[in-house]
Amino acid sequence: DPKLRELLDVGNIGRLEQRMITVVYGPDLVNISHLNLVAFQEEVAKEWTNEVFSLATNLLAQNMSRDAFLEKAYTKLKLQVTPEGRIPLKNIYRLFSADRKRVETALEACSLPSSRAFMVVKKMKLKVSRTIESSGETSQ
Domain locations in the chain as residue ranges = 2-62, 66-134
Which has the minimum average pLDDT: 27-36, 62-71, 85-94? 62-71
56-63: long-range pairs with CB below 8 Å, 24+: none
Which residues are bridge partners to 38 per DSSP?
A: 20
d(CA 8, CA 4): 6
In 16-99, which ranges are continuous DSSP H helix? 16-19, 42-57, 59-62, 66-79, 89-95
Q: Determine the pLDDT at residue 129.
A: 42
pLDDT over 80 (residue 125): no
The SS3 of residue 16 is helix
From 42, 36, 6, select the one nearest 22 (Cα to Cα): 36
Which has the minimum average pLDDT: 19-33, 45-59, 114-128? 114-128
Judge if pTM exceeds 0.75: no
